[in-house]
C-alpha cells in the first residue's frame, strides 16, 4: 500500500514539475537569413570557395593535358623518359590533392575562414537566445532548423522574431508572427 501511494505521489509530482517547464523554439536558418552580416559573410565564403575551386580545376586540367601528351608520345620515349614523365604526373596529382585538402579539408582554409566570418554572428544569436530564455523563464529552446524533428510546433512558441529584435534587427514573418502582448 505504501509503495502504491509513494509511486502515485512521485508520478503526480513529476507531472506537476513537467507542466511547470516552459519550452520554445527558434528557427536559426530564418534568423541568420535576416542578418545582413551573415549574408555578406556567406557571399564572401562563396566567392572564395569558387575562386579556390577554379584554381584546383585548373591544376587537374593541367594534369589531364600532361597525361594525354604522355600517352601520345609514349611510344617515342625511352624507359627513363617514361618514368620521369609518370613521376611528374604523379607529383602534379599529389600537389593538386594537397591543395584541395589545404583549402577544403576538415581544418582547411575554408573552414578557418568560415569560423572567422560566421562564428561571431552565431555567438550573437546564441547570446540573444540565452537572454530570451532567461528573461522568459524557458527551460528549453529548440532549434527548428537543425536536425531536430518536430512533428508539431505551435507558432506562438516561435521566438525567432524576439531573437532578431534582441539583436537589433527587424524580421519579416508577418503571416506566422504572433503580435506582442
Lowest mean pLDDT among 67-76, 84-93, 106-115, 170-179: 170-179
pTM assigned to the model = 0.68
93 has a pLDDT exceeding 90 = yes
How high is the pLDDT of residue 153? 57
| Mean pLDDT, residues 136-140 | 84
**Average pLDDT in the 125-148 region?**
85
User: Residue 51 burial (CB < 10 Å; 0-12/13-18/19+)?
Assistant: exposed
Out of 4-13, 30-39, 167-176, least confident range: 4-13
**pLDDT classification of 173: cutoffs 50, 70, 90:** low
Band of the pLDDT at 146, cuts 50, 70, 90? confident
Q: What is the reported pLDDT for 6?
A: 41
- Report the alpha-carbon distance of residue 149 to residue 144 in Å, rounded: 7
Of the CA atoms within 13 Å of residue 12, those in its CB half-sphere come to 6
pLDDT bracket for residue 154 (50, 70, 90): low
**Which residues have a Cβ under 8 Å from the Cβ of 141 and sit 6 or more positions away?**
23, 24, 25, 26, 129, 132, 133, 159
Q: What is the pLDDT of residue 10?
A: 52
Amino acid at each position: 500500500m505504501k509503495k502504491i501511494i509513494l509511486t502515485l505521489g512521485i508520478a503526480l509530482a513529476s507531472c506537476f514539475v513537467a507542466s511547470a517547464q516552459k519550452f520554445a523554439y527558434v528557427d536559426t536558418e530564418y534568423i541568420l537569413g535576416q542578418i545582413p552580416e551573415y549574408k555578406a559573410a556567406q557571399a564572401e565564403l562563396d566567392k572564395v570557395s569558387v575562386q579556390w575551386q577554379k584554381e584546383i580545376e585548373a591544376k587537374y586540367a593541367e594534369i589531364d593535358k600532361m597525361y594525354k601528351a604522355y600517352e601520345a608520345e609514349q611510344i617515342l620515349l625511352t624507359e627513363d623518359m617514361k618514368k620521369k614523365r609518370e613521376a611528374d604526373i604523379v607529383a602534379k596529382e599529389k600537389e593538386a590533392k594537397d591543395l584541395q585538402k589545404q583549402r577544403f579539408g576538415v581544418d582547411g582554409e575554408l573552414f578557418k575562414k568560415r569560423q572567422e566570418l560566421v562564428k561571431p554572428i552565431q555567438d550573437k544569436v546564441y547570446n540573444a537566445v540565452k537572454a530570451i530564455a532567461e528573461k522568459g523563464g524557458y527551460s528549453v529552446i529548440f532549434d527548428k532548423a537543425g536536425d531536430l524533428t518536430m512533428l508539431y510546433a505551435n507558432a506562438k512558441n516561435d521566438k525567432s522574431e524576439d531573437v532578431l529584435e534582441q539583436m537589433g534587427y527587424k524580421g519579416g514573418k508577418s503571416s506566422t508572427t504572433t503580435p506582442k502582448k
